[in-house]
Chains A and B, each alone.
Chain A
Amino acid sequence: MSAQAPKIYTLTNLTRSLENHMDQTFGSKTFWVKAELSKVMVSSGRRYIELVDSEKENVTAKIQAIIWGNTYTAIKAKSGKVIDSIIQPGNKVLISVKIQYDKLYGLKLLIVDLDLSYSFGDVEQLKKETILKLKQEALFDNQKSIYLPTIAKRIGLISSKGTSGYKDFVTELSSNKYYTNFSIKEFDCKVQGKAAIPELIKAIHSANTYDLDVIVILRGGGSKIDLNIFNDYKLCQAICESKLPVMTGIGHETDDVVADLVARKNLITPTAVAKTLYLSIATFNANLINSYTALKVASDNQLRNKKEEFKRHKKDIYINSTSILNETSQNLVSLKHNITARLNSIQRVHSTKLDVNYEKIKLLSRDLIKQQQLDLNSKLKLIDILNPERLLKTGYSITSVDNTKITTLDNLVGKELKTETDKGTIYSHITKIKNNTR
């Protein structure tokens, strides 16, 4: 059996046939597809996109897609500017596509619509996961315990140089009327797209090696999808682990991003961050001036009061001391008088005592002499009275027997009795004795 020669088609025939087959099979049918945008290229209003799908980081599907200019405009009209943020490499999307095969350009998916809620849901999911993980690792509140200086002059500025956010911040910081003497160490890096994440992390680590007061992370503004990088776990982890306080000024209109939640302080715009920094210093300065003024007023008042008090005390002391001196002087005079009086009294007492004693001595001496004289006189009188001659002269006589004083009448009869008189002596003979009856 001879082999039949294979039928040979032209490529045009084949691709036209394929085109027809695809058109008949899929036609204008649309399909909702979940995919990740791996590449996006804009040209003449059209978006040329590479869609991928992956499992465990292995790409399991890849296909080119396109959004025509008019389609893109229609979607934008319906969903707003956010579409610009969603149609970016790295974002996951839920898109409505038509399958198209063109004999010249091959197989493509025509993107005709986009479900925003899917992309937003992805953002919220990432936020939840990041927050949960940071909380599980006890990192979420790390920044809250870091001291944010009231005077934060040395600023580590992490932003994309030249962007409106950067300009707003620097202009506000340098041209306000309150305080401008800031020292800014800039860490220029991307703040848009997934590539920004490692740059931001590196900038945070680098800023931590400088002697700074605060790190400021700025992003001018953007949609929820644009700002989704600030929900990234590794970036937020770097913020949490920063030894320096981190302030965020990520411009957004609705919900906070995780970077805001974990930062030491978050403001809604770069301008607000600048205002917070200089107003903090200005407020501190104003408080300082107010305190100084209050202190001065208080100290002046106190000084004046003390001076018046001192004057009063001085006057009181003068009056009191004069009074005390007068009183003491009077007391002394009185005391002196008392002493003198007492002295005179003692003197008088002693003099009197002496006088009395001496008078007594004189008196007693005289008495004694008088007494002696009286004694003598009486003795003299007695002697005189007792003188026998005086008795004889008055007619008395002295009788004796044997020249002896008669003391008894016994045995006297017969004896001679001698009687002496003033004129002479009589001798007589005792014949009879008669005793007295008494």
Chain B
Amino acid sequence: MTTLPKDMKYEDALAKIEDIVSELEQKEVSIDELIKRVDFAKQLVDFCQDKLTKTEKEIEKIIEEK
């Protein structure tokens, strides 16, 4: 299982997700690689969702403080 780097950026994660989608669309992924790709894509999506949620909460907090 591939693990995400600690300093992963949201935009990089999104770009990788889009790369995976593109690979899948082009059917360039072998069945052997498919599980690895989907698993990696799930991690990336979770990372991005988490980042979005956290960012939203932070901004809400900042706005409410004012």
Contacts and interface: CB of A to CB of B under 8 A. Distances in A.
Contact of B63 (A339, A353, A358, A371): A339
Nearest to A364: B24
Give the size range of A's interface with the partner. 20 to 34
B48 A368 contact: no
Contacts of B45: 354, 357-358, 361
Contacts of B31: 368-369, 372
A350 B52 contact: yes
A365 B52 contact: no
Contacts of B25: 360, 364
Interface string A131-144: 00000000000000
Nearest to B29: A368
A238 B35 CA distance: 133
A343 interface: yes
Contacts of B20: 361
Contacts of A360: 21, 24-25
A360 B18 CA distance: 10
Interface string A326-369: 00000010001001100100010011011001101110110011
Contacts of B42: 358, 361
Interface in B22-63: 24-25, 27, 29, 31, 34, 37-38, 41-42, 45, 48-49, 52, 56, 59-60, 63
B49 A371 contact: no
B41 A371 contact: no
Contacts of A347: 52, 56
Contacts of A343: 56, 59
Given A350-B48, A354-B45, A361 B59 contact: no
Contacts of B24: 360-361, 364-365, 368
Contact of A365 (B38, B49, B56, B66): B38
B1 to A, nearest CB: 16
B34 A369 contact: yes
Given A339-B63, A343-B56, A351-B52, A361 B29 contact: no
Interface in A165-202: none
A334 to B, nearest CB: 13
A340 B63 CA distance: 9
A371 B18 CA distance: 21
B15 to A, nearest CB: 11
**Chain B CB within 10 Å — which of A336, A340, A360, A364 has the most?**
A364
A252 to B, nearest CB: 98
Interface of B: 14, 17-18, 20-21, 24-25, 27, 29, 31, 34, 37-38, 41-42, 45, 48-49, 52, 56, 59-60, 63, 66
